[in-house]
């Protein structure tokens, strides 16, 4: 049996008309530009990786991901 790794998931999504990054219920990186929110998520992910924590950045609405309504 494969043991899962505790992986942080950062999700870039729309929230109240702007793009944000969501992580464990916390919302940050508000921007009207999706690319800026993605860059913020990637920067935070790099900090987590450098600290030894596995993580994943998900982009809501792009190929392979979907929003639950």
Mean pLDDT in residue range 7-16: 94
Q: What is the Cα–Cα distance from 65 to 46, expressed in whole angstroms?
A: 21
> Binning pLDDT at 50, 70 and 90, where does residue 43 land?
very high
Residue 69 has pLDDT above 50, yes or no: no
Q: What is the Cα–Cα distance from 39 to 44, expressed in whole angstroms?
A: 9
Bridge pairing between strands 55-59 and 8-15: parallel
What pLDDT score does 3 carry?
54
Rounded to two decimals, the pTM is 0.79
Mean pLDDT in residue range 39-49: 96
Burial class of residue 21 (count of CB atoms within 10 Å of its CB; 0-12, 13-18, 19+): buried
């Amino acid at each position: 049996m494969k043991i899962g790794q505790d992986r942080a998931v950062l999700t870039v999504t729309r929230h109240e008309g702007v793009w944000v990054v969501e992580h464990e219920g916390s919302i940050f990186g508000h921007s009207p530009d999706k690319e800026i929110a993605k860059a913020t998520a990637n920067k935070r992910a790099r900090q987590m990786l450098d600290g030894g924590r596995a993580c994943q950045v998900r982009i809501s609405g792009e190929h392979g991901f979907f929003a639950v309504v």
